[in-house]
């Protein structure tokens, strides 16, 4: 594997969808051997009614919203254990996993929600990665855009799941390592990886890799949406990529008196942009594929009704609006119908539009605590997850 300098300046956007033969971003490379292979792969994931028409169907031409096969979106729930403090305080388990259904303890025996997978408190992040993230990462390395979200109230385990720590690395470090392993295992292609890291706070986009990059604009061109002026760094090793995240986290401290509070009030998006082409290809420009892998630690989803001060209320209303929009966008994507998808209603969905539409893979990981004192907020998270992708409870799961 060899890396080479970026051959294009602006890679953000739906270039990978173009390389995959997306309906309206047709580009010359859509007929290349590479993209044909990948199109076959993604076709095998299509629902029956969609495969009849195929991704390049004229039926869909001209629609500005691509339907997404339901299988491309996975929604999972991850329980964290009760913390030592919660145990000391006599907290009880209010919700628990019964197979891939989450049910409420005895007082509400009929309340239950099914998901693609429910992870018990003892499950390792490594296992969560294997089930809910690995396919998104490998897809991105093959040219299919991918997005992984951690959604949940503050202290439910979003950052533990996405970032983790030395003892228990999160999905971001695991994905970065995996990406470089895949490069090692793919000697017939050469790759160029770049990272960017941004935060959205009160609907303002700030570049975490560049302290001067504040209040950046989201722009649109025929290839999709992109953040104007965002710093992208070429990365040559997992350690290099992870050191950039660590530096980005330092930048989040700028101007904040309470880092924990800030971190629960902003969304962070770590993006790996992957450019690859066959080794030794003479007509390189035509065979290059682009894709993006977005790894997102969302703002805390707790309701802001109790907030009394103006600043906190304002933050809360922005968060509510962007998370509500995200829920609507994902549920519209999973219902498979090409109706209007309101990407534009929040910065978060707008800048992810290119990745979420087309054949992009999405994994929504909802983190919850079983603790009884959080029972209602957990219920809100479970409803959000269920709305994002409606899964029927299997009779055998519903005791």
Residues that bind ligand ADP in the complex, under the rule CB under 6 A:
80-81, 83, 152, 154-160, 264, 367
Residue among 140 and 171 whose Cβ is closer to ligand ADP = 171
- 3-state SS class at 203: coil
Residue among 230 and 368 whose Cβ is closer to ligand ADP = 368
Beta strands (DSSP E) in the chain are 73-79, 95-98, 101-104, 112-114, 117-119, 146-151, 189-201, 204-207, 218-221, 224-227, 233-234, 266-278, 289-297, 361-368
Q: How many CB atoms lie within 10 A of CB 74?
A: 22
Q: Which entry of ligand ADP, Mg ion, none binds 155, CB below 5 to 8 A by partner kind? A: ligand ADP
Nearest distance in Å: CB 181, ligand ADP? 24
Tokens of 344: 């534009």
Residue among 277 and 363 whose Cβ is closer to Mg ion = 363
- 3-state SS class at 237: coil
Residue among 155 and 271 whose Cβ is closer to ligand ADP = 155
Number of residues that bind Mg ion (CB under 5 A): 2
Q: Which entry of ligand ADP, Mg ion, none binds 271, CB below 5 to 8 A by partner kind? A: none
- 3-state SS class at 157: coil
Residue among 158 and 267 whose Cβ is closer to Mg ion = 158
Residue among 30 and 156 whose Cβ is closer to ligand ADP = 156
Nearest distance in Å: CB 50, ligand ADP? 35
Nearest distance in Å: CB 49, ligand ADP? 37
Nearest distance in Å: CB 298, Mg ion? 9
φ/ψ of residue 348, rounded to 5: -55, -55
φ/ψ of residue 293, rounded to 5: -115, 115
Strand 233-234 versus strand 189-201 pairing type:
antiparallel
Tokens of 395: 């009779």
Contacts of 182 (CB under 8 A, 6+ apart): 137, 138, 141
Residue among 38 and 264 whose Cβ is closer to ligand ADP = 264
Nearest distance in Å: CB 19, ligand ADP? 34
Part in contact with Mg ion (CB under 5 A); list of ranges 75-83, 140-148, 156-164, 345-353: 156-164
Nearest distance in Å: CB 117, ligand ADP? 14
Residue among 138 and 154 whose Cβ is closer to ligand ADP = 154
Q: What are the C-alpha distances in Å from 364 to residues 26, 149, 238, 344?
A: 28, 5, 24, 20
Handedness of CA 49, 54, 55, 59 (dihedral sign): negative
Q: Which entry of ligand ADP, Mg ion, none binds 344, CB below 5 to 8 A by partner kind? A: none
Tokens of 223: 């290839």
Nearest distance in Å: CB 299, ligand ADP? 10
Part in contact with Mg ion (CB under 5 A); list of ranges 99-107, 159-167, 179-187, 353-361: 159-167
Nearest distance in Å: CB 370, ligand ADP? 11
Complete edge-to-edge strand list for the sheet that includes strand 95-98: 95-98, 101-104, 112-114
Residue number with the smallest Cβ distance to ligand ADP: 157
- Angle, vertex CA 147, rays to CA 141 and CA 6, nearest 5: 45
Nearest distance in Å: CB 382, Mg ion? 19
Q: Which entry of Mg ion, ligand ADP, none binds 47, CB below 5 to 8 A by partner kind? A: none
Give me the residue label for tokens 């173009």.
Answer: 18
Q: Which entry of Mg ion, ligand ADP, none binds 289, CB below 5 to 8 A by partner kind? A: none
Query: What is the b/e burial string over 195-210, where b = at least 16 CB atoms within 10 angstroms of the residue's CB?
Result: bbbbbbbeeebbbbbb
Q: Which helix (H) or strand (E) holds 182?
A: helix 171-184
Q: Which of 145, 159, 266, 268 is close enough to bind Mg ion by CB under 5 A?
A: 159
Q: Which entry of Mg ion, ligand ADP, none binds 80, CB below 5 to 8 A by partner kind? A: ligand ADP
Residue among 158 and 386 whose Cβ is closer to Mg ion = 158
Q: Which entry of Mg ion, ligand ADP, none binds 224, CB below 5 to 8 A by partner kind? A: none
The site for Mg ion (CB under 5 A) is made up of 158-159
């Amino acid at each position: 594997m060899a890396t080479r300098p970026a051959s294009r300046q602006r890679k953000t956007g739906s270039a990978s969808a173009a390389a995959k033969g997306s309906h309206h971003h047709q580009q010359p490379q859509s007929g290349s051997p590479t993209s044909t292979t990948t199109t076959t792969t993604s076709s095998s994931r299509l629902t029956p009614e969609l495969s009849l028409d195929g991704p390049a169907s004229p039926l869909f031409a001209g629609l500005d919203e691509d339907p997404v096969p339901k299988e491309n979106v996975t929604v999972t729930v991850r329980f964290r254990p009760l913390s030592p403090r919660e145990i000391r305080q006599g907290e009880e388990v209010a919700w628990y996993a019964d197979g891939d259904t989450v049910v409420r303890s005895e007082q509400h025996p009929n309340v239950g929600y099914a998901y693609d997978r429910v992870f018990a408190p003892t499950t390792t992040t490594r296992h969560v990665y294997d089930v809910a993230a690995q396919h998104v990462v490998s897809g991105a390395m093959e040219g299919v855009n991918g997005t992984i979200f951690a959604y949940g109230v503050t202290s439910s385990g979003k950052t533990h799941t996405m970032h983790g720590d030395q003892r228990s690395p999160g999905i971001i470090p695991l994905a970065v390592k995996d990406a470089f392993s895949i490069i090692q295992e793919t000697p017939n292609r050469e790759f160029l990886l770049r990272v960017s890291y941004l935060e959205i706070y009160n609907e303002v986009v700030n570049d975490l890799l560049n302290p001067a990059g504040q209040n950046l604009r989201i722009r649109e061109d025929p290839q999709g949406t992109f953040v104007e002026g965002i710093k992208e760094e070429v990365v040559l090793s997992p350690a290099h990529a992870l050191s950039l995240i660590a530096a980005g986290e330092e930048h989040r401290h700028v101007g904040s008196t309470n880092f924990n509070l800030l971190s629960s009030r902003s969304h962070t998006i770590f993006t790996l942009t992957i450019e690859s082409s066959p080794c030794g290809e003479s007509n390189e420009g035509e065979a290059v594929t682009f894709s993006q892998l977005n790894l997102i630690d969302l703002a805390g989803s707790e309701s802001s009704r109790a907030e009394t001060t103006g600043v906190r209320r304002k933050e809360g209303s922005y968060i509510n609006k962007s998370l509500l929009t995200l829920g609507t966008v994902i549920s519209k994507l999973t219902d498979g119908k090409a109706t209007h998808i309101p990407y534009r209603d929040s910065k978060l969905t707008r800048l992810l539009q290119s990745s979420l539409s087309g054949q992009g893979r999405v994994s929504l990981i909802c983190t919850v605590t079983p603790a009884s004192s959080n029972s209602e907020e957990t219920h809100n998270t479970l409803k959000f997850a269920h709305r994002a992708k409606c899964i029927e409870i299997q009779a055998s799961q519903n005791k």
